[in-house]
Amino acid sequence: MNAADDLNSADATITNDQAGDSANALPFAQCVRWMSVAEQTLAALFLFVIVSTMGAQVFARYFFGAPFSSSEEVARIALIWMTFMAAAFVMAEGRHITVDVLSPRLSVRGQMRLECLSHGIVTAACLLLLIGGSRFVWYVGKVGSPSLGIPMSWWYGAVGVGLSLMAIHSIVNLLQVLATGQPTARESVVEEDAFHLELEQGE
């Protein structure tokens, strides 16, 4: 039994190594990896700013009776930027919420074409929203926030940066699908199969 477990573990290690090598061979794989790391780091930094700012606000209010006037604005702008930074690296990892009804009923080639179509639609939607919203961001740049006086373009500009990064990730995902000729393996499907396997073993 132990020998069989060791053999399965070795096979799994080889499979993971092969998957890692194939992932590294994809177009712009290294660039995407560094972009994702940067986006995750920025999102974590903004989360730290939110937690520390609100913690300082609560401490100052209940212990000194003099809350900071600008803490809510700092937390709000950090929340906006964190949201769109997180949306960008979630796009890179293909972890956005999807309702996958048609893809399982198609062949491998059909799944690839459908995924290419979805990446194209997402890219077009992001670019259209970016172009349409850039004029508004430029217009509100003349207005400052009530407490800090930060131009509102810094607030709404997070949307443009997030849309740009999501469009880039979607284009790269499209190129990777075209380069491999295979649809992207979704972890949700793997997790669902493992869940059903655990249920069958439990019975």
The two tokens of residue 52 are 């520390």
* Average pLDDT over the chain, rounded to an integer: 78
Closest-CA residue to 156 (of 89, 81, 49): 81
- Helix, strand, coil share of the chain (percent; to 5): 80, 0, 20
Q: Which secondary-structure segment (H or E) carries 13?
A: helix 2-24
Quote the pLDDT of residue 186: 62
Instruction: Label residue 181 left, alpha or beta by phi (over 0 means left) and psi (-120 to 50 means alpha).
Output: left
For the chain, which residues score pLDDT lower than 50? Answer: 1-21, 188-191, 195
CB under 8 Å, gap of 24 or more: what pairs does 157-162 form?
158/77, 158/80, 158/81, 158/83, 158/84, 159/80, 159/84, 159/129, 159/133, 160/130, 160/133, 160/134, 161/81, 161/84, 162/83, 162/84, 162/85, 162/87, 162/88
Could you list the beta-strand ranges (E) of 85-134.
none
CA distance 42 to 36: 10
Quote the pLDDT of residue 69: 74
Closest-CA residue to 165 (of 78, 43, 58, 7): 43
- CA distances 158 to 84, 98, 100, 198, Å, are 7, 24, 29, 43
DSSP 156: H
CA distance 65 to 59: 9
Quote the pLDDT of residue 41: 93
- pTM equals 0.72
CA distance 8 to 69: 60
The two tokens of residue 131 are 């172009």
